[in-house]
Amino acid sequence: MMFLVVSLPEMKLTLQTQLFPDRDQQRKLLATMEAFNAAADWLAREAFALQTANKVKLQQLFYRQLREQFSLSSQMAIPCTAQVCEAFSRDRKIKPRFRKYASIPYDQRLMSFKGMDHVSLLTLEGRVIVPLVMGKYQHERFSQNYGQCDLVRRKDGKWFLLVTVEVPDKTPTPATDFIGVDLGTENLATDSAGECFSGVDIERVRQKRHHQRQELQQAGEKRKARGSRPKQLRRKLKKASGTEAKFRKHTNHVIAKQLVAKAIDTGCGIALENLKGIRTRARFRQSQRAKMSGWAFFQLRAFIEYKAQLAGLPVVPVDPKYTSQMCSQCGHTEKANRLSQSEFRCRACGFELHADINAARNIRARALVSPLKVSEHPHVRPSTGIKPLASAVGLLTHPL
C-alpha cells in the first residue's frame, strides 16, 4: 500500500487578545492612533505624487517632517513609512487612504509583553502598561515566537491587540485516503461520507439583515424629506453592520472544525475544489446574485486549510471541472446527469445519489490520482485529464 506524505508550509496565525485600558490610557492610545494615521495619510499623498514605494527614499525625504509635524517618535516614524509603502505598492494607480482610527502596527520596539496579562505600548506621551485578556485557544499558542501586532479600536469602543505568531511545522500524517469536500450555497459543504452542512441558516440571516437595512434606509429617507436628522436610524444601521458576516464566520469555523475532526478520526487527508476565479467564470441568474455575493467559500476553505495544517493533515486542491456532471460509480460525464440542484442520475448506468455527495466523491477520486502527489513517486505515471480519472472512479466501490 502506498502512503502519501504532503509537506506543509510554515504557517502564521493571528491571535486576538482584548485590552482593558483605563480612561487616561484610552486618551493616550487614541491620540497616538490619530497622529499615526494622519501621518500615514499625509505621507501617502507624497508617495503618490512621487510615484514611489521605496521605503529608503521616503525615509530620507520625509523622516524629519513625520517627527516634527506629527510628533511621532523615531520608532513610530519608521513603521509608518513601511505601512505606507506596503499599501501603495499594492496598486500604484490609487492613492492609499488611512482612516482616523485605522489599526496601527506595533513591533518589538514599540511594545513588550509583561507576563500573560499585561502589555507595554508606546504612545506619544510615553509607555502605558495595559491589562489584556486572552482565551484558552490564544493562550495555548501564545508561547510561540510572535511578530508584528496590530492595535485595533472597534466601532463599539473596545480595544484589541492582534498578535501574529509562527506555528511550528507539524509532521504530516501519512494519507492513504481523502475526504472529498464539495462547496456550495444550498449546502455550504458536503463530504464524500455523505454528511451535508446546510446553508439555510446563513441565507435566513442574510435575508433578514437585507430587509432590515431596506426598512431603516427607507425610514431615514422619509425623515430627511421632512427635514429631520435620523441619528437613531444611523446608529441602528451601524450596530447591525457586521452581524451577518460574524454569523457566517462562526458557521464556517464550526464546519471546518467538524471536517478536520472527521479527517483526524479516519486518518484521511482532505480534498477541496480549487475554486479560484469561480465568480468571474460562472454566470448566475439575477435572483441568485445577492446570494452568491454572500458565499464565503474562500473563507471556509481557508479555515479548513489552517485547521488541517495545525493537525498535520494534508489538504489537496483538485480541479472541480465536471465533478457535478460525472458519475462517481462509472465515470460517465454528461450535463443531463444533473437533474436538479440535489438530484443526480447517471444516464449510462442509472446510478442515483444526492448531487453534492456525488460531486464530493469525484473530488475524493481526483485527489487519489492527483498528478501533484503521484509525481512524488517516480515509479508511478501521473494521470491527466478526465478519461484516466473515470477508470479510477469506478474502482472506488467503498467511497468515504
* Whether 41 contacts 57, CB under 8 Å: no
- Phi, psi of 183, rounded to the nearest 5 degrees: -100, 140
Confirm if 90 and 100 have CB atoms less than 8 A apart.
Answer: no
Q: What is the dihedral of CA 318, 319, 320, 323, to 10 degrees?
A: -90
Give which of 317, 311, 314 is closest to 167, Cα–Cα.
311
Residue 356 appears among annotated catalytic residues: yes
CB atoms near residue 302 (< 10 Å) = 13
Spot the catalytic one: 177, 191, 305, 356: 356
Catalytic residue among 191, 244, 273, 305: 273
Q: Which of 177, 182, 244, 305 is catalytic?
A: 182
**CA–CA dist 311, 263 (Å, integer):** 10
pTM for this predicted structure: 0.66
| pLDDT value at residue 227 | 64
Note the Cα 390 to chain centre separation in Å. Answer: 33
- 201 annotated active-site: no
Rounded to an integer, what distance in angstroms lies between the CA atom of residue 14 and that of residue 166?
9
pLDDT value of residue 350 = 92
Question: Please, are residues 213 and 237 in contact by the beta-carbon 8 Å criterion?
Answer: yes
Look up 191 and say whether it is catalytic.
no
| Per-domain residue ranges of the chain | 11-167, 178-203+244-395
Phi and psi torsions of 190, nearest 5° = -135, 130
- The answer to whether 222 and 215 are in contact (CB under 8 A) is no
CB 256 within 8 A of CB 248: no
CATH number of 178-203+244-395: 3.30.420
Residue 116, C-alpha cell as written in the block: 500573560
Residue 301's nearest CA partner among 167, 177, 181, 185 is 181
What cell was used for 19? 485590552
Query: Chain-centre distance of CA 15, in angstroms?
Result: 14
Task: Give me the tens of pLDDT residue by residue for the chain, a chain 400 residues long.
Answer: 334 444 445 677 888 899 999 999 999 999 999 999 999 999 999 999 999 999 999 999 999 999 999 999 999 999 999 999 999 998 888 899 999 999 999 988 899 998 888 999 999 999 999 999 988 878 877 765 677 899 999 988 999 999 988 776 666 667 788 999 998 877 888 999 998 887 676 667 666 776 777 777 777 676 666 666 666 766 676 666 667 778 888 888 989 999 999 999 988 999 998 876 555 545 555 555 555 555 577 888 889 988 888 888 888 999 888 898 999 999 999 999 998 888 999 999 999 999 999 999 999 999 988 644 433 333 333 333 333 333 333 334 333 4
Residues 6 or more apart whose Cβ sits within 8 Å of residue 127: 120, 121
| Rounded CA separation 359/68 (Å) | 62
Residue 353's pLDDT is what?
93
Q: What percentage of the chain's residues is helix, strand, coil (to nearest 5)?
A: 45, 20, 35
